[in-house]
Amino acid sequence: MNASSLRSWFTPKRIPAVVAGILGVVVIGVILANSDQTQAIVLGLGGGALIAAIALSITLNYQGSGVVNFAAGAIAMYGGYVYYGLRVNGQLFLPPIPNPLAPIEGIAHLAGAASFSLPHIPVFITLAHPSQGTAAFGTFIQQPAMPVWAALLISVMVLAVMGLAFHFLIFRPLRRAPVLAKVVASVGLFIVMQAVIVLRFTSSAKSVEPILPTKPIRMPRGVSLPSDQMYLVLIVIAVTIGLWALFRFTRFGLATRAASENEKGALVLGYSPDFLAGVNWVASTVLAGCFGILAAPINQSIDPITITLLIVPALAAALLARFSSFVVTLAAGLGIGMLTSWIQLVSNKSWFPKANGSAIPGLADALPFVIIIVVLVLRGKSLPTRGSIETIKLPFAPRSKGSFPTTMILGIATIGLLFLVTPNWRLAIVNSLVGMVICLSLVVLTGYVGQISLMQMALAGISGFTLSKVADAHHIPFPIGPLLGAVVAVIVGLLAGVPALRVRGVNLAVVTFAAAVTIENLVFANPAWSGLQGASVRSPSLFGFRFGPNDAWTKPFGGGKGLLPNPWFGVFCVVVVMVLVLAVVNIRRSRIGRHMLAVRSNERAAAAAGVSVSGTKVLAFGVAAFIAGIGGALSGYRFGSVTAGYFGAIPSMIFLAYAYLGGISSVSGAMVGGIIVAGGILTTIFTNWLHISEQYTLLLAGIGLIIMAIQNPKGVAGAIRDGVHLVQRRRASTSDVSDSAIPEPVEATV
């Protein structure tokens, strides 16, 4: 490379990548002076290779079809399980396929014919049988059912079919949709894959045997590296070189690049963009899946979460490479892997930040978050540039009329129900009420202002943990405790939200998801706070009256001792939901609501109209964090404890799905969203009446989210509203034909 081509290569756009590269080299140089640290860095290569492969898969998808695929890590994890099922059990598992006969069976069961059974769609296809092997140390060791090559071959074929299915069923229908709709669909895909694996294999880890040889390779200065990690690195380097050459030298690669700029470009080269997108989907799915298979043995086990969440460092690597350069992606992926491993090592050192005497876990996981924030904030602009405006098409946000009486009537009816129904329905109502609060927070932030947040449950958790660890520990009484929690959630929400002011659309989804992962690892799983077992929350009491869900209660009018959960806790939840509902309705009806929707529609035009775009967003982040914080406190009371698993990054994604399904831009949508949350009213109907397992809720939520993203409808609440309008309009047109005024869109119910 001569000087002039170097000068043209080095544009301002490349500064972050170059700076990161130089920093990386310096850090590595300093550390290499120290051999145990060198060892740690080298041991990060295997993880780095997996991160790089997932990042390459993301980049490939982006080039091929403009999708930022949040599910790339989940695809790698899924591939690992496909291989595991084949190799160990000789079985190919199938995702749940809806059985048209199931409802008939369910109705028969409902009618009392419990033994009535119709044919079921198989769950596994058995291809080989495991043979019982030799007895060693007194236990039978099961021999793998299928040779490695056969299991690998079938896995690759399955992954290729999956790639095609993703293209044809999900992303091809979305090809002209805004990038954000594609992100929502990929979040749906993430949830679906995760749910399928949990359904088929449970969420506990399975031990896996190595595929690549694991003989340690000796290197200078006493450093050694298991050979499988070395092979992984070599493979990912080979893949990168292959992709680089493919995109640089072949018509196919050229056409994909051209298509990613504009569709005509590919047509000129004789390829249909659609074909290119399909091929790239197959390639990226096989790539991620194969590395999931090959890399799972590094940790000796596979579980549904670990590899899935590598999406965060992989996104950081892909962002550093601007979703375009394969070589930079590779370097960034390997670098993040090695740095992570190094941070884990130095966490044993005395100077490393400690909590309760042990090193703070999760600091290594915070690294990708820091990279993402720095890169995006450096590159971001506080207003989008001309021509780059990209907003997700969100459903219409109606102005409600008559919501006060409706809220009152529904609230009082719910309170009445709480005392009448059996305990499991009471619990379902409470779960739905808590879910409604979280969905309301998404209505404000995503529905009204168009800012996609994948961290609302993490903010809820911040509040729950504050309630447990600060308020309870210092005997701060009831109404102040949860309010304090909500205020702390607001502070954290603003800390994460303020850098997000320069970041929009897909990138905001990336930032908030990385923030949620970081909060989960750094705060919730922090031994100083709770560790994995959770932290207890004392039940609320006011003037000596205890109304936690597990506090004993007596029925009114001398009815004797009532069954738990305590309905008065439900009453408390109803009151909270009613207050928040009215507040969110009022936001939509007042000035701030109009400003929020203006920002959602068009940031540049909003600024030209004198709206403070940043101020409006900050306010929305704050209000949404406050509402989520209230929700977190409620769920703390509901369970009597707060745990990391309930409030992490994945639950945040899942709640976005519920809110989206219900109808993300209206308060009534949040009500529907609450009804469909896991453990809520709908799942209780499923389990109690239709005998459908609760585990299917997540699966259905994920599928629903994908359908929502493709069809762009207004959610369940919107559909109901449209139905009501249609009926009203029919009536109006039959009674008064001359009335042609455009009916003002008004929300029929709350």
Partner 1 sequence: MAMLSISGLSVSFGGKRAVDDFNLEVGAGSLVGLIGPNGAGKTTTIDAITGFVPSQGAVDFDGTDISGLSSTMRARAGLGRTWQSSELFDDLTVMENLQVASERVDVRGFLRDLFRPRNDDVSELTKILDSLDLAGSADALPTDLSHGQRKLVGVARALAAQPKVLCMDEPAAGLDTVESQALGRRIRSLVDGGLSVLLIDHDMGLVLTICDYLYVLDFGQLIAEGTPAQIRADSKVITAYLGERHSDDHGDEHGVDTAVPAAPGGTPAVGGTTDG
Task: Provide the binding-site residues for partner 1, judged by CB under 8 A.
Answer: 382-383, 385-387, 394, 396-397, 583, 586-587, 589-592, 594-595, 597-598, 600-602, 604-613, 615-616, 619, 742, 744-745
Q: Are 466 and 488 in contact (CB under 8 A)?
A: yes
The binder of 511, among partner 1, ligand ATP, none, by C-beta within 5 to 8 A per type, is none
Minimum Å gap between C-beta 223 and ligand ATP is: 50
The binder of 184, among partner 1, ligand ATP, none, by C-beta within 5 to 8 A per type, is none
Kindly tell me which of 604 and 725 has the beta carbon lying closer to partner 1.
Answer: 604
Q: Are 145 and 130 in contact (CB under 8 A)?
A: yes
Question: From CA 472, how far away is CA 730, in angstroms rounded?
Answer: 57
The binder of 349, among partner 1, ligand ATP, none, by C-beta within 5 to 8 A per type, is none
Kindly tell me which of 535 and 587 has the beta carbon lying closer to partner 1.
Answer: 587
Kindly tell me which of 399 and 604 has the beta carbon lying closer to ligand ATP.
Answer: 604
Question: From CA 314, how far away is CA 324, in angstroms rounded?
Answer: 14
Q: Are 463 and 598 in contact (CB under 8 A)?
A: no
The binder of 135, among ligand ATP, partner 1, none, by C-beta within 5 to 8 A per type, is none
Minimum Å gap between C-beta 745 and partner 1 is: 8
The binder of 397, among ligand ATP, partner 1, none, by C-beta within 5 to 8 A per type, is partner 1
Angle between the 649-662 and 179-201 helix axes, to the nearest 10 degrees? 120
Kindly tell me which of 356 and 388 has the beta carbon lying closer to ligand ATP.
Answer: 388
Minimum Å gap between C-beta 388 and ligand ATP is: 8
Q: Nearest residue by C-beta to ligand ATP?
A: 386
The binder of 587, among partner 1, ligand ATP, none, by C-beta within 5 to 8 A per type, is partner 1
CA dihedral 400, 402, 408, 411 (to 10 degrees): -40
The binder of 194, among ligand ATP, partner 1, none, by C-beta within 5 to 8 A per type, is none
Question: From CA 590, how far away is CA 501, in angstroms rounded?
Answer: 23
Minimum Å gap between C-beta 385 and ligand ATP is: 5
Kindly tell me which of 214 and 391 has the beta carbon lying closer to ligand ATP.
Answer: 391
Tokens at 176, concatenated = 């002209």
User: 375: burial class by Cβ within 10 Å (0-12, 13-18, 19+)?
Assistant: buried
Q: Look-up: residue for tokens 């009535």? A: 116
The binder of 396, among partner 1, ligand ATP, none, by C-beta within 5 to 8 A per type, is partner 1
* 565 prior amide bond cis, ω within 30: yes
Question: From CA 111, how far away is CA 560, in angstroms rounded?
Answer: 34
The binder of 745, among ligand ATP, partner 1, none, by C-beta within 5 to 8 A per type, is partner 1
Kindly report the number of other CB atoms within 10 A of residue 552's CB atom. Answer: 9
Kindly tell me which of 220 and 387 has the beta carbon lying closer to ligand ATP.
Answer: 387
User: 385: burial class by Cβ within 10 Å (0-12, 13-18, 19+)?
Assistant: exposed
Give the helix/strand (H/E) hosting 207: strand 206-207
Question: From CA 192, how far away is CA 425, in angstroms rounded?
Answer: 27
Minimum Å gap between C-beta 398 and partner 1 is: 10
Minimum Å gap between C-beta 461 and partner 1 is: 25
Kindly tell me which of 7 and 386 has the beta carbon lying closer to ligand ATP.
Answer: 386
Q: Are 527 and 354 in contact (CB under 8 A)?
A: no
Minimum Å gap between C-beta 672 and partner 1 is: 20
Q: For binding to ligand ATP (CB under 6 A), which residues are involved?
A: 385-387
Backbone angles phi, psi at 324, to 5 degrees: -135, -45
Minimum Å gap between C-beta 386 and ligand ATP is: 5
Kindly tell me which of 150 and 611 has the beta carbon lying closer to partner 1.
Answer: 611
Kindly tell me which of 611 and 720 has the beta carbon lying closer to partner 1.
Answer: 611
Minimum Å gap between C-beta 597 and partner 1 is: 5
Q: Are 628 and 485 in contact (CB under 8 A)?
A: no
